[in-house]
Every structure is written in C-alpha cells, then in structure tokens.
A and B are shown apart, each in its own frame.
Chain A
Amino acid sequence: MAILETTDRQRIWRGLMRYWSNLREAVGGSKAELLTTINETDNWIDAAQSNYLNSLTYRESYTGGQLTLIFCCVACMRTGLVALLRRLLGVEVDNG
C-alpha cells in the first residue's frame, strides 16, 4: 500500500483542525507543523506496515480494513481517546 496522495493528507489536515476547533481543544502546533506530522505519520506507516503485519499471528483471518480498525481502536484506547472510540464502537467500550 503506497503512501497517501497529497490531497488525501490535506483532507486529514483540514479535518483534524475542524475536529479540534469544534471540541475547542488546545493545539500548540502551527498548520504547517500539523501537516508535517501527518506526512511523517503516513511515511512511518508505510515503512512499518510490514513489520506490523508480520507480528500478527492471525493476520490471515482478517481483511486489511479490519486490521486497520483493530490498530486504530487499540491506539485510541491506549491514548485515552475513549469518547472517539465510543462513537465508533458504541457503549461496549464502557463495559468492564
């Protein structure tokens, strides 16, 4: 899977700024720094995806989309983005 097109990276860029603006969440970085961070994240995913997939014992059991969702959900839970995860998965994320 290749890196994202510039326009797709910019869609994420605009979307994140809109998301944080709506939440009124403090953001310390500039527009340019955010875009650079998105670019570097995409580059890292591109470079690291083989290692990630090779580390999964049951990777053949899931589609690429499902593996991506697993990755995102685990990352969200690890970093405390439970509200975002709840919007994606529902109240199951609140049950112990």
Chain B
Amino acid sequence: MIRDITLGQYYQGASWIHRLDPRTKIIAVLVYIAGLFIVHSLLGMVMCTVVLAAVIAVSRVPLSFILRGLKPIFIIILLTFILNLFMYDGRTLCRIWILTITWEGLYRAVFMAVRLILLILGSSMLTFTTRPIGLTDGMERLLSPLERLGVPAGEIAMMMSIALRFIPTLLEETDKIMKAQQARGADFETGNILVRARRMLPILVPLFISAFRIAQDMAMAMEARCYRGAKGRTRMNPMRFAKRDTAAAILMGIFLGACILERIML
C-alpha cells in the first residue's frame, strides 16, 4: 500500500511549457509569486488567475490532476478564510452570536483564499511540467553565481537528485520492514492515531540503519565511477536558452509590470 504514494509530481508531456528551460520556469514561478503579493485589488487577483489559467491551458496538464494537489492543504485554506472573515472591522454584513462578519472581512477572506490557492497551484505547475532532474540542474545553474561565495551549488544539486532517486527505494525498504514486523505479530492497523504512531517507531530504527548502509554503498559506487565533486563535471544535456525562453521571459516581464502598475494606480 505504501508504494501507491505517487512521487515527483511530474506530469509527462511535451507542451510549450514542458519544453521551457527549467531555469526559466523557476524564475517565472518566483516572479509569479512576487506578483501575487504585489497586487492588492480584486482586479489584480483576477489578472493573476487569468495568467495561471492560460499557463494551465498551454501545459495541457488535466485540471483534475492539478486540483488534486489542493486536497492536502484544503484545511489551511478554510482556516485562513474563516479567520479573515471574522477579523476585520467595517460595515456589518451579519452577526452570529458574538461574532460579526463584515463586508471588508468577506472581501479580505475571499482575497486571501484566492491568493493562497493561486500560490500553491502556481508553484505546483513548476513540478508538474519539469522533470526532477531538470529541476535540480536548474537550481544548480541558478545558484552557481553563489559558488564564488563558497556555496557548493553543484554538491547541493547532486544531493537533491540523489534524495529524489532514493525516495522509491526507501519506500520499498519501509514496506519490507513493516511486512517483516507484521509477520511477527506487529499491528499497524488498529487503535487510534496516537497508538498507531507509537507503533510506527520500531520501523524507524531499522529504516535509519538501512539508509546509512545504502549511503555508504552509494558513496563507494560514486567514487568508483570517478565522482570527485562538482568541479570539472560536464553534462550530457547542457541547458540552453531557446527562443521560447526569451518569449516566456518577456511575458513574465509584462506580467510583473502589470502587477506593479496595478499597485500604483489602483
């Protein structure tokens, strides 16, 4: 059952968005997030929604797949909505017991909820349309100017990609350990959450031990394959900015400009 967890939220595709350079996409997401916090009117929020809708349409990732990503954070969105609803003074809309809902509160609550949803959907579009390896490579290249300040960008990217690579392996390992313990009478299925959580603890110890063992093997195999740090390493698929990346950059520039304009004018 544990293997059913889908990892790496990548949605295979060959759309214009998929083929953009990962660096472009990472920066575009940062710009988009900045835009979300710059705008302060409903009109601005509508503009952000339209932009995201356009990106989703171009990427051809199915909407149902995208909305699934919202499920785990639904409670947070709801909580933000309710808190904002009651926290603002202004013209009274209605009164429930000692709580007052104001027009301003309602406006604020809707605004914040939409911002949160767009924030999550916008950033998940990056992982939906970029292979994990592309993401880590993109990060490495974007961080590389910091190497002069002593930030080991190449090593950080290598660590991230190995971590991604080992998620399925460690899940399998967990599954194996759980089965071995179930065979000897361990019970993971009954009891309340607390009881069940406590019963999970004995899984962690062997899991950590095997993770360390794997790490040791892995380090040896990497050395045997001549890995000596990121210095002097080349890439099979060097990243290149294409014309579409320039186009994307211009579009994101226009978007950011519009957001700033909205902030100043409205």
Are A and B associated in one complex? no
Binding site for A on B (CB under 8 A): none
